[in-house]
Amino acid sequence: MSGEKTIFKKIIDGEIPADIIYEDDLCLAFNDVNPQAPVHVLVIPKQEIPSMAHLQDSDQALAGHLLLTVGKLAKQLGLDSGYRTIVNTGKEGGQSVDHLHLHLLGGRSLHWPPG
């Protein structure tokens, strides 16, 4: 990728702080700076993938790992009554940071449909 680093890439590179709750070789999870629920965690790949629309067949294992990580974190965080996983994609999808991220929201009753 060319151009300026995204804010999430700066977090991966340790250039700006984040409230990191989990890390492994492939991904990082940290608390969202503007939480929309009592639990609002972002799970991101360390690899620079701009959005879900940029995932390739070769990313299958990574994509699965991200989903499994969300599930494991939800369990660890005690979200036994349920939670929501959101991947905003592109302008109309409401994506504001061009680095793939999975939102994990929980700890309150969530409404549907979203806006």
Say which of 40, 65, 99, 101 is annotated catalytic. 101
Which is nearer to ligand AMP, 96 or 109 (by Cβ)? 96
> Would you call 101 a catalytic residue per the annotation?
yes
* Minimum CB–partner distance for residue 25 and ligand AMP (Å): 21
Q: Which residues of the shown chain bind ligand AMP in the complex (CB under 6 A)? A: 7, 18, 30, 32-34, 42, 88, 94-97
4 burial via Cβ count (<10 Å: 0-12, 13-18, 19+) = exposed
Q: Do residues 30 and 11 lie in contact, with contact meaning Cβ atoms separated by under 8 Å?
A: yes
**Could you tell me the smallest distance in angstroms from the CB atom of residue 71 to ligand AMP?**
19
Nearer to ligand AMP, 64 or 94 (CB): 94
Q: In the complex, what is the shortest distance from the CB of residue 33 to ligand AMP, in angstroms, rounded to a whole number? A: 4
Closer residue to ligand AMP, CB minimum distance, 58 or 96: 96
Please name the amino acid found at residue 71.
Answer: G
**One-letter identity of residue 1:** M
Whose CA is closest to 43, among 8, 15, 76? 8
CA distance 60 to 52: 12
DSSP 8-state assignment for residue 50: -
Query: Active-site positions?
Result: 101
